[in-house]
Amino acid sequence: MMREVNYLTDKSQDSEKGLSFKEQILRDLEEANEQILKIEKEYDLPDRSIETPSSPKEDEASTPPPKGEEVEQQPEASPAVADEKGSEPSKTTLKEPSQKPVEDKLSRSTRHQKKKKQNKIAKRIVRTVVTILLVVIVATGIFAATYVNSALKPMDKNATEFVTVEIPAGSSNREIGSILEKKGLVKNGQFFNYYTKFKNYSNFKSGYFNLQKSMDLETIIQKLQEEGTKTPQPPVLGKVTVPEGYSIDQIAEAITTDVSTKKKGKTPYKKDDFLKAVQDEAFIEKMVAKYPKLLANLPSKDSGVRYRLEGYLFPATYNYGKDTKVEDMIEQMLAAMDQKLSSYYDTLESKNLTVNEVLTLASLVEKEGANDQDRKDIASVFYNRLNQDMPLQSNIAILYAQGKLGQKTTLKEDATIDTELDSPFNIYKNTGLMPGPVDSPGVSAIEATVNPSKTDYLYFVANVETGEVFFAKTYEEHNKNVEEHVNSKLTQASSN
């Protein structure tokens, strides 16, 4: 406990020790401070020791006020500690331990406000990051779409020169892409690799190819899926296709269309130029001399044929280049027919058949039959009728004479053809073969004509709408087939 002091009664004792009044107060404050430190240590309280003034100048408030003057209470002063006898409290001040819960509440409030602020900052950061990610994703998508679109387009849409490319056998998509990139034909070889794998393009051919920088990626892929050449060849400008069963009039139309790309364009050839060349006698005689086996029995001008070379132009796809003339295109077709018939020449001679006879009969078989077996059976009917000197009675020849061959006909139109037409192609009236073919037969029709089925059929009727063919050995059976498969259909069509 602190020593109890009465400054009014004990002045004589301290003055005897030579201590002034102020020095007595400072001494007592030091003793009080020591007692406070002991209490704090014993009860584990925060440091609340009293700061002892160092000099009278530094703390004038420690000097007792003159008599009759009141001491003004300082706002920040703590409650005074009273002595044991109930005397006036000393100037020593202590913060009560009861203030700690208030401080804890303030601390919790501060922490709550701080956490709330941190949450707002965190949300702001998340929104910013998400926004940035979305912007990056959208930007990446736009860039990717732009790049893909650019990579699919031609490297130079105005380029006209050809670039010869060699694709070694067994080359992978990646290796082909690298070759094309080095030649300046594609933007990126790796993109070619990924794109062709994504689209499942894998059937690329080997050899030499003539490509252009004006070709888009799909066109280049299409070109590489065709057969390459073993040696470098003059550039191919385009392709024309002659379908099986086409007449010369139809072929003249076909050569005006370039089929080398998906977007079919125009060739440098005109229909009138083709028809003029195919009837040029000087050109024909030149071809007769060049392909003697094929054209040995070519129909004469006065035989009644429309075109002497009708049926001799093989149906296939042909390339043309910058310097390819229309006569060159016709010669390619003649050369192809000669090559296809080369394996049949000896057989024809042994059967006492001419090329013109085979191609004439095959041109009918081509149009009448829809599949290989039907063609062989139809050829057998024609041979059986020829052997019995019966007219062939094929509507195909009549339609050709009328200029309607190749046009889509109905059952009604097919049943009402003019069988009294005055034409060497009217094989309803005339026995034997026509003077020449009516269209260009394909390999299947030629094979069926050279090696027909062995049957007793003398009649057949075909449904022009379905292609189905019905055979008969007698005229009665044939009439029954006509009634069931043709006339009944006509009746149904009329009622509808």
**DSSP for 139-151?**
HHHHHHHHHHHHH
CA dihedral sign, ordered 193, 195, 198, 202 = negative
For 291-336, the DSSP string reads SHHHHTTPPPGGGS-S-TTTT-S--SEEEE-TT--HHHHHHHHHHH
Q: Which two tokens stand for residue 225?
A: 């899926």
pLDDT at 78: 44
pLDDT at 322: 85
Q: CA-to-CA distance for 79 and 94, rounded, in angstroms?
A: 7
Q: Which two tokens stand for residue 259?
A: 């089929």
Query: What distances in angstroms separate CA 319 from CA 176, 323, 337, one per listed residue?
Result: 24, 11, 16
Domain that holds residue 147: 99-152
Neighbours of 174 (CB within 10 A): 15
191 pLDDT higher than 80:
yes
Output the 3-class SS for 375-428. Answer: HHHHHHHHHHHHHCCCCCCCHHHHHHHCCCCCCCCCHHHHHCCCCCCCCCCCCC
pTM: 0.61
Q: Which residue has the higher pLDDT, 403 or 138?
A: 403
**Residues in CB range of 309: below 8 A, 6 or more apart:** 248, 278, 284, 287, 298, 330, 334
Same domain, 366 and 481: yes
pLDDT at 112: 76
Question: Is residue 347 one of the residues assigned to a domain?
Answer: no
Same domain, 225 and 244: no
Q: Dmax of the chain from CA atoms?
A: 175
Pairing status of strand 207-212 against strand 238-241: unpaired
pLDDT at 7: 47
Q: CA-to-CA distance for 224 and 457, rounded, in angstroms?
A: 48
12-16, 229-233, 296-300, 478-482, range with the lowest pLDDT: 12-16
Question: Is residue 4 one of the residues assigned to a domain?
Answer: no
Q: CA-to-CA distance for 461 and 282, rounded, in angstroms?
A: 42
Q: CA-to-CA distance for 348 and 356, rounded, in angstroms?
A: 11
Q: How confident is the model at residue 260 (pLDDT cuts 50, 70, 90)?
A: confident
Neighbours of 396 (CB within 10 A): 23
Q: Rounded to the nearest 5 degrees, what angle is found at the Cα of 307, between the Cα atoms of 301 and 312? A: 115
pLDDT at 290: 97
Could you give the dihedral angle defined by the CA atoms of residues 466, 469, 470 and 472, in that order, rounded to the nearest 10 degrees? 160
Question: Is residue 141 one of the residues assigned to a domain?
Answer: yes
437 pLDDT higher than 70:
yes
Give the single-character DSSP code of 84. T
What is the CATH classification number for the domain harbouring 186?
3.30.1490.480
pLDDT in tens, 210-243: 898 999 999 999 999 988 999 998 888 889 999 9
CA dihedral sign, ordered 466, 469, 474, 477 = negative
69-78, 285-294, 470-479, 487-496, range with the lowest pLDDT: 69-78
469: part of which helix (H) or strand (E)? strand 469-472
pLDDT in tens, 166-183: 999 999 999 999 999 999
Q: How confident is the model at residue 60 (pLDDT cuts 50, 70, 90)?
A: very low
Average pLDDT estimate for 404-409: 76
Q: CA-to-CA distance for 81 and 59, rounded, in angstroms?
A: 19
Question: Is residue 296 one of the residues assigned to a domain?
Answer: yes
Q: Give the domain-ending residue among 316, 342, 368.
A: 342
pLDDT at 68: 46
Report residue 166: phi and psi, to 5°.
-105, 125
Same domain, 360 and 464: yes
Q: Give the domain-ending residue among 74, 95, 116.
A: 95
84-88, 165-169, 309-313, 459-463, range with the lowest pLDDT: 84-88
pLDDT averaged over the chain?
A: 82
Question: Is residue 349 one of the residues assigned to a domain?
Answer: no
pLDDT at 408: 67
3-state secondary structure (DSSP) of residue 229: strand
Same domain, 282 and 377: no
Q: Give the domain-ending residue among 202, 235, 268.
A: 235
pLDDT in tens, 296-335: 999 998 999 999 999 999 999 999 988 899 999 999 999 9
Same domain, 209 and 103: no
Same domain, 481 and 379: yes
Number of structural domains (the chain) is 5
Question: Is residue 58 one of the residues assigned to a domain?
Answer: yes
Buried/exposed 305-343: b ≥16 CB within 10 Å, e otherwise: bbbbbbbbbbbbebbbeeebebbebbbbbbebbbebbee
Same domain, 311 and 422: no
Same domain, 371 and 444: yes
Same domain, 113 and 210: no
pLDDT in tens, 119-168: 888 888 888 888 888 888 877 777 667 767 777 889 898 888 889 999 99
pLDDT at 107: 75
Same domain, 144 and 255: no
Same domain, 190 and 262: no
Question: Is residue 5 one of the residues assigned to a domain?
Answer: no
Contact predicate 174/197, CB 8 Å: no
Q: CA-to-CA distance for 36 and 45, rounded, in angstroms?
A: 10
Q: How confident is the model at residue 34 (pLDDT cuts 50, 70, 90)?
A: confident
Question: Is residue 348 one of the residues assigned to a domain?
Answer: no
415 pLDDT higher than 60:
no
Q: What is the chain's Cα-based Rg? A: 57
Q: CA-to-CA distance for 8 and 21, rounded, in angstroms?
A: 10
- Which amino acid type is present at position 50? I
Q: CA-to-CA distance for 316 and 340, rounded, in angstroms?
A: 11
Same domain, 188 and 315: no
Residue the block writes with tokens 């070109």: 223
